[in-house]
Amino acid sequence: MKLSRKWARIVCVLLALAVAFAVLPMAAYHLAGARSPDWAVAGVLGAVGFLSAGVVLRLKHLRCPYCGRSAAIPQWRTGKRLYCPCCDRALFYDDESDEEGGS
Ligand SMILES: [Zn+2]
């Protein structure tokens, strides 16, 4: 049982978009001199929307396959080995070998 790299990447993209929307009003203000409150509203709505979508998808698709009580950190590609904080089992993505330290 493995975690899906596809969903990890989708969650990464959503979180990046949330950050982008969070800085959008400031960027618009400093770069374009935009003083319209629409920028702040769009920034807050976009940030909250993408953040909640990312959190929901993470909880739905990146749960620990063994105990289901925790969600894995979304990794774009193979990195540090992840362990479930609840059941202590190693978590693997579907493009990784499940041999410890294997290729
Ligand atoms: Zn677990």
| Domains identified in the chain, total number | 1
For residue 28, give its domain range. Answer: 5-91
Query: How confident is the model at residue 103, as a pLDDT?
Result: 45
Whether 100 is in a domain gets the answer: no
Measured distance CA(55)–CA(59) in Å, rounded: 6
Return per-residue pLDDT of the chain as tens, 103 residues: 899 999 999 999 999 999 999 998 888 888 888 778 888 899 999 999 999 999 999 999 999 999 999 899 999 999 899 999 999 999 999 999 876 554 4
Q: What is the CA radius of gyration of the chain?
A: 18
Q: How far is the CA of 96 from the centre of ligand 1 (A)?
A: 18
Q: How far is the CA of 2 from the centre of ligand 1 (A)?
A: 12
Query: How confident is the model at residue 100, as a pLDDT?
Result: 58
Whether 99 is in a domain gets the answer: no
Q: How far is the CA of 18 from the centre of ligand 1 (A)?
A: 27
Whether 39 is in a domain gets the answer: yes
Are residues 59 and 7 in contact, defined by beta-carbon separation less than 8 angstroms? no
Q: Which two tokens stand for residue 61?
A: 């698709």
Query: How confident is the model at residue 36, as a pLDDT?
Result: 81
Whether 42 is in a domain gets the answer: yes
Q: How far is the CA of 39 from the centre of ligand 1 (A)?
A: 41
Query: How confident is the model at residue 76, as a pLDDT?
Result: 95
Whether 84 is in a domain gets the answer: yes
